[in-house]
Amino acid sequence: MSDAHLTERPVDDDRDPIDLTDEPIRLSNRNPGAAEDERPSWSRRRRVAWATAALVGVVGAGTIGVAGWRVAQQKDAEITQPERIVGLTRDDSDRARSTADYLRSGFAADIDLDRSFGTVYRDPADVRRSVLVFGGTTLLWQPERDLDSLFGLMADETGRVTGLREVPAGDLGGVMKCGTTSGEGGDFAVCGWADHGSVVMAMFPGRSVDEAGGLLRIMREQMQSRP
């Protein structure tokens, strides 16, 4: 505190000591007796502003922390194409490989992937219910946006995807969606999943959307892994 805040007093050793009461010292220029509505309100507004800023900062930090943890957990995904999966058998014939590669290359042209794949799984009970799966792995910051882009790509190849809706993604998290499109054999279900490390689409001729969504969720659990 500077000397400007001190009041000069004549030195008088005979005066009684100053009695300091228990009342707290007020660090304010306000008149203690003034009515509440007559007191300056800037300090109250400042307190509210600081509290609001602190709250936004805490919430923002929490959101960034959760998002960062999710990215770190999902980013290093690996996808395999087992020979058998959910009662389906991988079709390694030339015709199936050609179809799968066509879908894979069209997929990779729109989304920059570290690794891409395309596979046809044959249903031993009915070849018309074979499943075509294609996609890949890479770091995705906005998985749902990229998945929606793939459904747009499907519309270019087969026709508009209708009834698109989100379905349970399972324990691996991310987002999974299904809808219906049309092909030479009529309408069929199309589903896809995306997380921060992978994005995959699948076509399900001869299956309903509900059946296709459940089947892809199980296939994903057997195809996708993380370190």
- State the helix-helix crossing angle for 94-110 and 143-158, rounded to 10 degrees: 130
Show the tokens assigned to 143.
Answer: 């998985």
Rounded Cα distance, 134 and 205, in Å:
15
DSSP codes of every residue in 108-119: HHHS--SEEEEE
| Under 8 Å between Cβ of 202 and 133 | yes
The Cα-based distances of 64 to 59, 60, 195 in angstroms read 9, 6, 17
Whether 38 is covered by a domain: the verdict is no
Whether 8 is covered by a domain: the verdict is no
* E strand or H helix that includes residue 203: strand 198-204
| Under 8 Å between Cβ of 190 and 204 | yes
Whether 170 is covered by a domain: the verdict is yes
- At 149 the pLDDT is 82
Show the tokens assigned to 33.
Answer: 């007796």
Q: Under DSSP, is residue 194 helix (H, G, I), strand (E, B) or coil?
A: strand
Show the tokens assigned to 130.
Answer: 């074979």
Whether 172 is covered by a domain: the verdict is yes
Q: What is the mean pLDDT of each run of 10 residues along the chain (227 residues)?
A: 41 44 42 49 51 44 56 81 95 92 82 90 92 92 89 71 93 94 82 94 93 96 92
- At 187 the pLDDT is 85
Whether 51 is covered by a domain: the verdict is no
* Total domain count, the chain: 1
Give the residues across from 181 on adjacent strands.
188
Helix ranges, the chain (H): 42-74, 94-110, 143-158, 209-223
Contacts of 212 (CB under 8 A, 6+ apart): 178, 189, 190, 191, 202, 204
What CATH number has the domain bearing residue 158?
Answer: 3.40.1000
Rounded Cα distance, 199 and 212, in Å:
17
Strands 186-194 and 175-183: antiparallel
Whether 32 is covered by a domain: the verdict is no
Residue 88 domain boundaries? 78-225
Rounded Cα distance, 117 and 31, in Å:
77
Show the tokens assigned to 114.
Answer: 């570290």
Please choose, from the candidates 213, 163, 222, the residue with its C-alpha nearest in 3D space to the C-alpha of residue 193. Answer: 213
- At 213 the pLDDT is 96
Whether 148 is covered by a domain: the verdict is yes
Whether 216 is covered by a domain: the verdict is yes
